[in-house]
A and B are shown apart, each in its own frame.
Chain A
Amino acid sequence: MHDSGAKNPAEKIIVHVDKDLEDLIPGFLSNRRNDVASLTAALGKGDYDTIRVLGHTMKGDGGGYGFDAISDIGGALEQAAKSRNGEEIWKWAGELSSYLERVEVVYD
């Protein structure tokens, strides 16, 4: 399972995922889209604890589903929340949103 990185923002990101997980992927990605909304709302309220937990959870779950990039973004969000860095949080929330728009899953 791996991500093929893309420097062009418009370019698709192909992720190869174990076929056994095919039924689970739509639900996982849907939850991540919900996370983008939750992150934005939490940032607006200055709720860094919620952001930290969201980031931590993403960090732990992403790679297991085949999305290493989501684990990386989650880790970065967690760190940004710990240091209460709103700019970093905003940046990584944007990264997550962009990634979710561009990701295309191939089941092997």
Chain B
Amino acid sequence: MSILIIDDSEDSRVLLKSILEASGYREVLTAESANHAFMQLGLNDPKKGGGGVDLILLDVLMPEMDGVKTCREIKAAEHLQDIPIIMVTTAKEMEWLQLAFVAGAVDYITKPVNKVELLARVRSVLKLKHEMDSRKAREQDLAKKTQELQQALRELKVLRGFIPICASCKKVRNDKGYWQQVEAYIRDHSEAQFTHGFCPDCLNKLYPGFDQDQG
């Protein structure tokens, strides 16, 4: 799983990266500013697929663009909106936190960073992300199977229920309300095929004296 740290403080980026990597997270990326992060995430390039980032640790107070605005920009991009964001903030920036949660952040950790707290929060959020990704994949699979099933049903030819048939000419009224030959109706509604011949009564009527045995 890949984690992106966005913080203008080099010491902060180095510390967080060190703690995460020592704990087994192999892909830890860093960005010194919002714009640098946007490039890595492919904010304006949906094909980049979010750069494969699964979690963002985002500093609240940064020059140029603060963490709240950064969070808002990321969440506004459809291909990035599912990436969870944990805000990293000092204790006196709580009013910023409220704005960050409204902007879409899911959690926060305080500075100075406590290693145990950081790892617990990261683990928890990544577990949730993994579950959401699995659920999304299952939903997409289900939607695809439903579509295939509906298509198959449309193509399925089944004769069932009451079939309106003319008592005189034996034409059948189809689903669209038109009267059609019974052979045509059966062909449209089943996999059956016809081989044509004459029944004995019709043969006798049409070809009197025709010897069936010598046929």
Q: Which residues of A does B touch, CB under 8 Å?
A: 18, 20-21, 23-24, 27-28, 31, 53, 56-57, 59-65, 68, 71
How many A-B pairs have beta carbons closer than 8 Å: the answer is 51
Say yes or no: A64-B111 contact (C-beta < 8 A), given A31-B10, A31-B11, A57-B9. Answer: yes
What are the interface flags for B108-124 relative to A under an 8 Å C-beta threshold, 1 for contact and 0 otherwise? Answer: 00011111000000000
Count of chain B residues with a beta carbon within 8 Å of a chain A beta carbon: 17
Asked if B184 is at the interface of the complex by the 8 Å CB criterion, the answer is: no
B63 within 8 A of A: yes
Q: In the complex, which residues of chain A have a beta carbon less than 8 angstroms from the beta carbon of B111?
A: 59-61, 63-64
Chain A facing B: main interface SS: helix
Write the nearest CB–CB distance from B206 to chain A, whole angstroms: 101
Give complex CA distance A23, B21 in Å: 13
Q: Please give, as numbers and ranges, the residues of chain A lying within 8 Å of B90 by CB-CB distance.
A: 56, 59-60
| 10 shortest interchain CB distances as A-B pairs | A63-B112, A60-B111, A64-B113, A64-B112, A61-B11, A57-B9, A64-B15, A60-B90, A20-B22, A71-B112
CA of A31 to CA of B63, assembled, Å: 19
Closest chain B CB from A52 CB (angstroms): 10
CB<8 Å pairs between A and B, sample of 18: A20-B18, A20-B22, A56-B61, A57-B11, A59-B111, A60-B111, A61-B12, A61-B15, A61-B111, A63-B112, A63-B113, A64-B12, A64-B15, A64-B112, A64-B113, A65-B11, A65-B15, A71-B112
Interface check B65, CB cutoff 8 A: no
Provide the residues of chain A in CB contact with B115, threshold 8 Å: 18
> Chain A residues near B11 (CB, 8 Å)?
27-28, 31, 57, 61, 65
The residue from B9, B15, B63, B112 contacting A24, defined by CB atoms under 8 A apart: B15
User: Considering only CB atoms, which chain B residue lies closest to A21 in the complex?
Assistant: B18
Q: A53-B63, A62-B112 are in contact. List 9 more A-B contacts (CB 8 A).
A: A27-B11, A28-B14, A31-B10, A56-B61, A57-B9, A61-B111, A64-B12, A64-B111, A64-B112
